[in-house]
Structure 1
Amino acid sequence: MIFTKYHGIGNDFILIDQRRSPIEESTFFVQIPRICDRHLGIGADGVLLLESSKRSDLQMRIFNSDGSEADMCGNGIRCVADYEIAHKPKIEIETRNGVFTCWRKEDQIGVDLKQPLICHWPMKIHEWSVYVVKVGVPHAVVFLSSFDQIDLIKIAQEIRSVFISEGINVNFASFLKGQLVVRTYERGVENETISCGTGFAAVAFVVSKLYNFPQPILIASASDKMTKQMKFFISTKGNIQMLAEACRVFSGSLHLA
């Protein structure tokens, strides 16, 4: 299996180009958890399969580290765009959630995530006000005064238990030292990830509605591993556009037993 390792603001992926180096899918899918394991495999939050498309420049399939397939991934699609875009001004990528436009701006990759779908605005779960929006995939947004003494995993699982059929992601946002900071619990990974593109976009959409934030809306990961921010712009039509780095880490090959 020939692969390239990428990350988008710390959210990391194993990218496999089926058009150039096809793999045997029947044996591959069951091995995704092992391949994504950070001790026994390459290590990643997910796998991105690149395939040919009749609707766009290429198709991206997204698999979480537990092997489940996702409809969309904001950081993943930007990594694919960085891999594919070369000197084109823009590129169209097909996903299970439709076709998305990506572009390069200097050393960053942008994506138009289209208009979010408001699901619950807000709803009360225990003591938390939870805003639920769909940005490619469903996200819950919760605002906290701080992250101190918060059992993020426990709270996220309690909120997820209310949305079992949707398999929702949970984003915790806080204003720390004048900066909007987010932590995300991702479905399919079933743990906290360093960042989540569509999750951060959901937070940007909610704060734009609640607080009339000036644009671009800057969001940072709470992880001390990442210092760079994502930028979000909301168009007059209501589309969310995300701009941030997508970084190639290394390439290699792995023998699938």
Structure 2
Amino acid sequence: MKTIQFTKMHGLGNNYIYIDLFKQSLQGRDLSLLAQQLSCVKTGIGADGMILIAPSQVAPVKMRIFNKDGSEGKNCGNGLRCVAKYVYEHKIVTDNEFLIETLSGCVVAKVEEKEGTVISVTINMGKPIFENKKIPFNSSLERTIRKTISFNDQDYDVTILSMGNPHIIFYVDDILQAPVTTLGPIVEKDERFPEGVNVEFVEVVNEGEISFRVWERGSGVTEACGTGACAAVVSSVLNQFTNKNKETVVHLDGGDLFITWRNDGDVWMKGPAVTVCEGVFYINQEDSDV
């Protein structure tokens, strides 16, 4: 195949190239390299990564996510909302509520639609994981909830958890002054995180609102991170800044998400998903072994 049909979508500015494997095949291709090529803004399409929409043995649809550096992620909140919008609008699913398989397990998606167009998606992101060995984070501690950790010989009070992928949360007084591009890449590659880590900076606005910026592993600065926003809300509840079982508005660079950590332990996220464009990506002759 010398061409690949694609759809570009975004959730609050967190944009990916989506490839429908119900319609075409990428068998034999180097998916890591393809993600890098598609994501390159100068020679490709330009995106935060690539997401595959594929058949599943355990759910109506499966999502695979590759960051723009080619690494494969386990989960993506903004990506899940876009996948839900795509499969519903393309009639791959017909129910308003359905399962999506990810590398970190199956999640429930609920779409709100008007005349066949999805206007918002709610995702059950599952339960947070706090055990350091499961995140994974190499530490003598069993958990890291508001603990002092040193990076570059400076101490920070942080909370570390997983929402299907690892997150570390720093609290700041002014979100606009957060060291996203300086501290973010240092923490992402810290050897204590054997799989890397998503680095979140949070300013608490009030009991029902937080402001959020992120350095995503494998992608760098992005406009939004759904799993990171969920992790930030869980962390804020644990740190007694916000309340459990009550909706928290998370202000991201790309817009707002509405997140609730319910009493049953599940984290629910609601937000938009937008289709940007559709097109054909041409595989150059020298890239034919991709």
3-state SS of the aligned residue for 1:153?
helix
3-state SS of the aligned residue for 1:254?
strand
Instruction: Give the structure 1 partner of residue 194 of structure 2.
Output: 165
Could you say if the C-alpha distance between residues 145 and 136 of structure 1 is closer, same or farther in structure 2, counting changes exceeding 3 Å?
same
Contact preservation (8 Å) 2:178, 2:201: no
Aligned counterparts of 1:78 and 1:150: Cα–Cα separation in 2: 27
Tell me whether 1:254 sits opposite 2:281 in the alignment: yes
Contact preservation (8 Å) 2:32, 2:71: no
Structure 1 residue ranges without an equivalent (≥5): none
After TM superposition, give the deviation of residue 57 of structure 1 in Å: 0.3
Instruction: Give the structure 1 partner of residue 70 of structure 2.
Output: 67
Aligned counterparts of 1:80 and 1:21: Cα–Cα separation in 2: 16
Aligned counterparts of 2:84 and 2:278: Cα–Cα separation in 1: 16
The residue type equivalent to 1:141 in the other structure is: I
Regions of 4+ moved over 6 Å: none
3-state SS of the aligned residue for 1:171?
strand
Contact preservation (8 Å) 2:50, 2:65: yes
After TM superposition, give the deviation of residue 211 of structure 1 in Å: 2.2
3-state SS of the aligned residue for 1:127?
strand
Instruction: Give the structure 1 partner of residue 53 of structure 2.
Output: 50
* 1:116 counterpart (118, 128, 140): 128
Q: CA RMSD in A?
A: 1.8
Instruction: Give the structure 1 partner of residue 138 of structure 2.
Output: none
Q: TM-score, normalised by structure 1?
A: 0.92
The residue type equivalent to 2:8 in the other structure is: K
Contact preservation (8 Å) 1:169, 1:186: yes
The residue type equivalent to 1:88 in the other structure is: D
- Aligned positions, number: 252
Could you say if the C-alpha distance between residues 148 and 243 of structure 1 is closer, same or farther in structure 2, counting changes exceeding 3 Å?
closer
After TM superposition, give the deviation of residue 175 of structure 1 in Å: 3.0
Structure 2 residue ranges without an equivalent (≥5): 114-118, 133-143, 285-290
* 1:85 counterpart (84, 88, 95): 88
The residue type equivalent to 2:43 in the other structure is: L
* 1:100 counterpart (87, 95, 107): 107
After TM superposition, give the deviation of residue 188 of structure 1 in Å: 1.1
Q: TM-score, normalised by structure 2?
A: 0.82
Contact preservation (8 Å) 2:38, 2:49: no
3-state SS of the aligned residue for 1:249?
strand
Could you say if the C-alpha distance between residues 133 and 179 of structure 1 is closer, same or farther in structure 2, counting changes exceeding 3 Å?
same
Instruction: Give the structure 2 partner of residue 139 of structure 1.
Output: 167
After TM superposition, give the deviation of residue 100 of structure 1 in Å: 0.8
